[in-house]
Structure 1
Amino acid sequence: MSMGDKVKHAAEEAGGKVKEAAGRATNNDDLRAEGQADQASANVKRAGDKVEDAAKDAMGR
């Protein structure tokens, strides 16, 4: 996995946290839920990054 993708996924998670916090601060349940969904999506992508990295390590690359 490229470093750029890892950075994008971390940024997506951070953006989700900001959205969630903004939703909580403004009592906007839709924005809060969108932030949580962004975080969940980023976490799945980051898990995929880890699996791919582990596979590359196992293959000696």
Structure 2
Amino acid sequence: MSASDKISAAGDKLKGNAKEAVGRATGDDEQVAEGKLDQAKGDLKQAGEHAKDSAKDVFDK
């Protein structure tokens, strides 16, 4: 997983956490949902990068 991909995934998760927290504080269900979506996006990016890294490790041997 490259450094820029790690930063991008972590940024999505952080942005999602912030959106969700603000949405909960203000009672904005749409913003809570957007926050959860951003967090899921970050999780998927991380999972995809881990899969690429694992495949690369298998084929490098």
| Stretches of structure 2 lacking an aligned partner (at least 5 in a row) | none
| Stretches of structure 1 lacking an aligned partner (at least 5 in a row) | none
Tell me by how many angstroms 1:12 deviates. 0.6
Q: Which has the higher helix share?
A: 2
Deviation string 1:5-41 (CA, Å, 9 cap, x unpaired) is 1111111111100100000001011111000000111
Tell me by how many angstroms 1:59 deviates. 1.6
2:58 aligned residue: 58
Aligned residue pair count: 61
Counterpart amino acid of residue 43 in structure 1? D
**Matches of 2:15 and 2:27, distance apart in 1:** 18
- Does the residue aligned with 2:6 lie in a helix, a strand or coil? helix
Counterpart amino acid of residue 27 in structure 1? G
**Matches of 1:14 and 1:51, distance apart in 2:** 22
1:18 aligned residue: 18
Using the size of structure 2 for normalisation, the TM-score is: 0.90
Q: RMSD over aligned Cα, in angstroms?
A: 1.3
